[in-house]
Amino acid sequence: MSIKDAFGLLAIILTFIGFAPYIRAIHQGITRPHVFSWIIWGITTSIVFFAQLSADGGRGVLAIGLSGCITLYIAALAYRYKADINITRSDWLFLCLALLSLPAWYVAADPTVAVVILTSVDLLGFGPTLRKAYQYPFEENLTFFAVFALRNTLVITALASYSIATLLFPLAVGISCLILIVLVFARRTSLTSKSP
């Protein structure tokens, strides 16, 4: 087993480790994901997986494919449990922009253009979650996002080839996870310090 295969396997293991407690927390009503974010992330992550495969991402992208499947499952759970029923106009805007831009990846017929478009769409998915995390910072699971920031670092390390098509998505999502962690931590600290 090569070192890249080992990093790819570790990324797959971290995918399971990251998602398992998050899914359990949804079932327990502790974590309340925003359904729109998870729909956007599930669709884009799944499509990016295929684009990365066509760009010779190798086994390093298998964790992305697995994430796409599990993310769609979380979107279904968020809908089923009505995890976040507070849908705003801006949430609808993010969802509509994301869905309208999805066909562009198909028209592009180039993995690099497709990944750039899909990564942009995926980042739109953070909009509703960032808004919700700001308002309700104790409903987000920081460990989950930390595991996925680390997982995306391993995905990058495990890639068979480096290009915009293979590198952009895991890099952008990893950074977005870190931004969300900082936001939630800051809000929790702010709210805790204001409590009597």
133-146 pLDDT, tens digit per residue, is: 898 888 887 888 89
| 87 pLDDT more than 80 | no
The pLDDT value recorded for residue 171 is 95
43-70 pLDDT, tens digit per residue, is: 888 888 888 888 887 877 888 899 999 9
**Overall average pLDDT of the 125-135 stretch:** 84
**Overall average pLDDT of the 123-130 stretch:** 82
Kindly list the distances between the CA atom of residue 166 and the CA atoms of 85, 98, 148, in Å, as whole numbers in the listed order: 35, 21, 17
**Overall average pLDDT of the 151-180 stretch:** 91
55: Cβ contacts below 8 Å, ≥ 6 apart: 111, 112, 115, 161, 163, 165, 166
Instruction: Name the residue with tokens 């106009």.
Output: 89
**Overall average pLDDT of the 69-93 stretch:** 81
The pLDDT value recorded for residue 174 is 94
| Interatomic CA distance for residues 5 and 18, integer angstroms | 20
Amino acid letter, 163:
S
